[in-house]
Amino acid sequence: MVYSHEGFDESAQTLFKLVQKAQEIRPGSKRKLFLDIEGHRTSDGSFDAAMLELQMEFLVGFLARFLSEIHCPLMSVTNPKPQENEIPPELIIKTSESDE
């Protein structure tokens, strides 16, 4: 669950650590992520930019390779490839300010 007071960075780190812990506890087992998001809506009811980025870029663009399935408000995705089990030791989030 992503709560309304949590931003992108905190949510991404939490999800990453969850996947790491799952691999630690049950190495090589299929991992399925079910994610709900509280709040984070714009006036028209769509997700704010941070939660769009979390779902589209972070979950699908990065974390999906370490999972067999993802279920989040915007989509459900099944990884067509075997999930990777070599999860990096840490998640480094680069922002435009840190790239300069």
Banded pLDDT at 97 (limits 50, 70, 90): low
82 pLDDT more than 90: yes
Listed by start position, the domains of the chain span: 8-78
CB 64 within 8 A of CB 70: yes
Residue with tokens 């990777």: 84
Q: Write down the pTM of the prediction.
A: 0.91
- pLDDT tens sequence across 38-69: 999 999 999 999 999 999 999 999 999 999 99
100 pLDDT more than 60: no
DSSP H or E run through 24: helix 8-25
Nearest Cα to Cα of residue 67 among 58, 78, 52: 78
Banded pLDDT at 94 (limits 50, 70, 90): confident
Q: What angle is formed at CA 98 by the lines to CA 94 and CA 100, rounded to 5 degrees?
A: 125
